[in-house]
Amino acid sequence: MALIVQKYGGTSVANIDKLHNVASRVVAAKEKGNEVVVVLSAMAGETDRLIQLALSASDNPMDREYDALISTGEQVTVTLLTMILNKMGYKAKSFLGHQVKILTDKAHTKARIISIDTEKTLDELRKGHIVVVAGFQGADHEGNITTLGRGGSDTSAVAIAAALKADYCEIFTDVNGVYTTDPNIYDKAKKLRKISYEEMLELASAGAKVLQQRSVELAKIYEVPVYVRSSFTNDGGTLVTKEDKDMEKEVVSGVTYDRDQAKITVVHVPDKPGIAARLFTPLSDQNIVVDMIIQNASVDAFTDLTFTVPRKDIRQCQTILHKVAEEIGAERLEFDENISKVSIVGVGMKSHAGVASRMFAALANEGINILMISTSEIKISCVIESKYTELAVRVLHDAFGLEQKI
Amino acid sequence: MALIVQKYGGTSVANIDKLHNVASRVVAAKEKGNEVVVVLSAMAGETDRLIQLALSASDNPMDREYDALISTGEQVTVTLLTMILNKMGYKAKSFLGHQVKILTDKAHTKARIISIDTEKTLDELRKGHIVVVAGFQGADHEGNITTLGRGGSDTSAVAIAAALKADYCEIFTDVNGVYTTDPNIYDKAKKLRKISYEEMLELASAGAKVLQQRSVELAKIYEVPVYVRSSFTNDGGTLVTKEDKDMEKEVVSGVTYDRDQAKITVVHVPDKPGIAARLFTPLSDQNIVVDMIIQNASVDAFTDLTFTVPRKDIRQCQTILHKVAEEIGAERLEFDENISKVSIVGVGMKSHAGVASRMFAALANEGINILMISTSEIKISCVIESKYTELAVRVLHDAFGLEQKI
């Protein structure tokens, strides 16, 4: 007997039929003698519908009201699933974020969980009840409803699993696990049986969208084993867990890409202390996340600074930077939206030499020019022209023999 | 400057355009220097949509989950209105039932308000904010969401007005006041400028559907002046208030009817003590509300018992009563669904003689047979064949000169 937290995403709860399918899975876990906590997202499309409603009320809706509005999506699915479970003869109870005291900070629309009071949930589990919790939402200490950002239900589930010291957390989604790369781009992509928290984090930051990044961070901190599974098949899925010896044998676990970046170059700027701060502070003030940054070696006390930002923020960057560029005496700014980032990720990199050069060679062989490079302990990313994205992914997948993964 | 509670019903908040209209009215009240609390229903049709969802999950959904589900309707309207008010430049904040501590008992789907903590609301009003509260909902002392029954937003509004000691409560609906009778049945119906709580209660219990009965009871207890107004016109509406001398001059204030009743007769039953209890206890155990009851004078130690029940409950009554009738030795049961109840209501009845005979004569003149009669201090009701309903309403309206009301 185990204590399990199961999370079902929007496509898994898209309508009453799918909720019946979810109920069957929940009941199956319960019938095996497990204690089961279920975390649900809103029905696929419902959050977008609510966002449209908000935008029809105001082009700039207040965050506090926005959160209270869109959190209704999960309130609908948890109550419906609980009704279905009851009808099937199982005792179940739904809870909203504030009811199981998912306390968050006050950062509406992207709140972070501070603590979860498990008393109510454990009490219900002890009575043999199935506990169904609304994902994506919490409440601040004044009782205002907050939401955790896109994909926040993953984080709800992992946080609840951590707080309950659950044996494991299952994330049911519309893919049946984590793949060596996007199967839509390369049909040789293989499902990974197991992947480390660190690799999963790098994959998420590199553009793969299986789990919300924060949920993986939490899973890593609290060492919650996370299974990524499809709610539509009985496939074993992918286990996200602590790094082990098996993983280290593999040099690279996955290839991923991110098409949502743009590149900005500040050309011929006087290389004085404080230039970077002058450039990046106004961007971070506007919550624009700068990803890769490269500064060329200084020539005659002048340098070039290149960095990437989310493509959606490029207009705002232009406005902000034209003013700053003038102030700091830069010659000009260059903006390039036709770029992609391709990355290889693997814990084995730490102990294997020559991984980077193998990556660069593979790209060069296909005539793909590398515009920027950044590396971490277990990830190498290259910015390339976006038209080469799919080709680069396939080439790298082949170069590291990922089609032979089990 | 006054403290006002305004409640807008489902048709007044049916879409974003109508919410803009509501916002304009709220702002107008605020601009006059008033402190304004707004209570909203769900968008017209939304509660029914949610009920259908519930019924598609389970033919007998758990009350607790049902309440948490349907309460989302008001959550949507209060957040949208608050966004609109903010966009118009007014500081506003929405609150759900549990957030302003509308504490209710645990009777899901028909909960009663126990107390309202006004601290948060008064605090917001003091800051000059408009407070927008979700109607229809509260929470029990364990934090479970409860709802107050159909029309419960009226009760929310009056209860909040009472708790805040508001100067008055405005109920905005799709009719512009309380009429002497249903204008759809008789075009001579006149809008009442003023009506007493007692008359309003009798009108509601006699079938008029302008305000939820409980809201009128609360208004009466706490002496909250209630204006019933249309949100689509600038008509002065009807004031529901304490009885005054003006009202006593009028014999009858209104004529109303109820087509949703059925009549049951228990024929030739031995007239022994405890017979009525044997009959009615099993009905009240099933929450079936018995309205009028008549017992004939006993003949040879046998009597007939006639009573009315909501027509929707007639099948259930048949099942229950066939068993009871046998046990108590009744000859047979008769069921009649083709009946209506017509009633005249007026505080003036207390001091005017001959009102009942005038009513009976008016009906008799048109050949309308009276099947049952019941009277209260300020109401007389007659059960008649349902085909005569409209005719009876018009005849009584004429008989008491209601077309001359101002």
Every domain of chain B and the residues it spans: 3-174, 265-335
Cβ separation B56–A16 shorter than 8 A = yes
Cβ separation B69–A76 shorter than 8 A = yes
Q: Which of B61, B79, B84 sits opposite A69 (nearest CB)?
A: B79
Q: Which residues of B touch A75 (CB under 8 A)?
A: 68-69, 71-72, 75
CATH of domain A339-401: 3.30.2130.10
All residue ranges of chain B with pLDDT < 50 are none
**Shortest Cα distance from B169 to chain A (angstroms)?**
25
Nearest residue in chain A measured CA to CA from B140: A99
Q: What is the pLDDT of residue B359?
A: 95
Nearest residue in chain B measured CA to CA from A143: B99
Cβ separation A83–B143 shorter than 8 A = no
Cβ separation A83–B57 shorter than 8 A = yes
Cβ separation A87–B58 shorter than 8 A = yes
Q: What is the pLDDT of residue B151?
A: 87
Cβ separation A66–B83 shorter than 8 A = yes
What SS3 state is found at B100? coil
Q: Which of A54, A76, A83 sits opposite B62 (nearest CB)?
A: A83
**Shortest Cα distance from A161 to chain B (angstroms)?**
23
Nearest residue in chain B measured CA to CA from A132: B65
Q: Which of B57, B81, B84 sits opposite A84 (nearest CB)?
A: B57
Cβ separation B72–A69 shorter than 8 A = no
- Which residue, among B119, B121, B128, has the nearest Cα to B30 in the 3D structure? B128
Nearest residue in chain A measured CA to CA from B132: A65
Q: Starting at the earlier edge strand, list the strands of the sheet with B102-104.
A: B113-116, B102-104, B137-139, B145-147
Nearest residue in chain B measured CA to CA from A99: B143
**Shortest Cα distance from B87 to chain A (angstroms)?**
6
Cβ separation B76–A69 shorter than 8 A = yes
Q: Which residues of B touch A66 (CB under 8 A)?
A: 79, 83
Which of the residues B63, B69, B85, B119 would you substitute to probe the A interface, choosing the one with the greatest number of A C-beta atoms within 10 Å? B69
Cβ separation A94–B68 shorter than 8 A = yes
Cβ separation B80–A69 shorter than 8 A = yes
**Shortest Cα distance from B212 to chain A (angstroms)?**
26
Cβ separation A76–B66 shorter than 8 A = no
Mean pLDDT within A91-119 = 96
Q: Which residues of A touch B74 (CB under 8 A)?
A: none
Cβ separation A50–B76 shorter than 8 A = yes
Mean pLDDT within A378-402 = 95
Q: Which residues of A touch B145 (CB under 8 A)?
A: 96
Q: Which residues of B touch A81 (CB under 8 A)?
A: 57
Same fold, A3-174 and A266-336: no
Cβ separation B65–A56 shorter than 8 A = no
Distance (Å, whole) CA A346 – CA A229 = 21
Mean pLDDT within A214-219 = 94
Q: Which residues of A touch B59 (CB under 8 A)?
A: 87
- Which residue, among B198, B195, B189, has the nearest Cα to B221 in the 3D structure? B198
Q: What is the pLDDT of residue A352?
A: 82
Nearest residue in chain B measured CA to CA from A97: B143
Residues 63-102 of chain A whose Cβ lies under 8 A from any Cβ of chain B: 64-66, 68-69, 71-72, 75-76, 78-84, 86-87, 93-94, 96, 98-99
CATH of domain B3-174: 3.40.1160.10
Q: Which residues of B touch A64 (CB under 8 A)?
A: 93
In terms of Cβ atoms closer than 10 Å to its own Cβ (0-12, 13-18, 19+), residue B31 is exposed
Cβ separation A58–B83 shorter than 8 A = yes
Cβ separation B54–A79 shorter than 8 A = yes
Residues 32-61 of chain A whose Cβ lies under 8 A from any Cβ of chain B: 50, 53-54, 56-61
Which of the residues A16, A24, A71, A79 would you substitute to probe the B interface, choosing the one with the greatest number of B C-beta atoms within 10 Å? A79
Q: Which residues of A touch B124 (CB under 8 A)?
A: none
pLDDT higher than 70, residue A258: yes
CATH class of domain segment(s) B265-335: alpha beta
Q: Which residue has the higher pLDDT, A226 or B204?
A: A226
Task: Spell out the SS3 assignment of chain A.
Answer: CCEEEEEECHHHHCCHHHHHHHHHHHHHHHHCCCEEEEEECCCCCHHHHHHHHHHHHCCCCCHHHHHHHHCHHHHHHHHHHHHHHHHCCCCEEEECCCCCCEEECCCCCCCCEEEECCHHHHHHHHCCCEEEEECCEEECCCCCEEECCCCHHHHHHHHHHHHHCCCEEEEEECCCCCECCCCCCCCCCCECCEEEHHHHHHHHHCCCCCCCHHHHHHHHHHCCCEEEEECCCCCCCEEEECCCHHHHHCCCCEEEEECCEEEEEEEEEECCCCHHHHHHHHHHHCCCCCCCEEECCCECCEEEEEEEEEHHHHHHHHHHHHHHHHHHCCCEEEEECCEEEEEEECHHHHHCCCHHHHHHHHHHHCCCCEEEEEEECCEEEEEEEHHHHHHHHHHHHHHCCHHHCC
pLDDT higher than 80, residue A298: no
Cβ separation B57–A94 shorter than 8 A = no
Paired tokens of A30: 């319960």
CATH of domain A266-336: 3.30.2130.10
pTM for the complete prediction? 0.87
**Shortest Cα distance from B126 to chain A (angstroms)?**
18
Cβ separation A64–B93 shorter than 8 A = yes
Which of the residues B59, B79, B91 would you substitute to probe the A interface, choosing the one with the greatest number of A C-beta atoms within 10 Å? B79
- Res. A91 pLDDT band, cuts 50 70 90: very high
**Shortest Cα distance from A208 to chain B (angstroms)?**
33
Nearest residue in chain B measured CA to CA from A75: B69
What SS3 state is found at B312? helix
The sign of the CA dihedral A39, A42, A44, A48 is: negative
**Shortest Cα distance from B301 to chain A (angstroms)?**
50
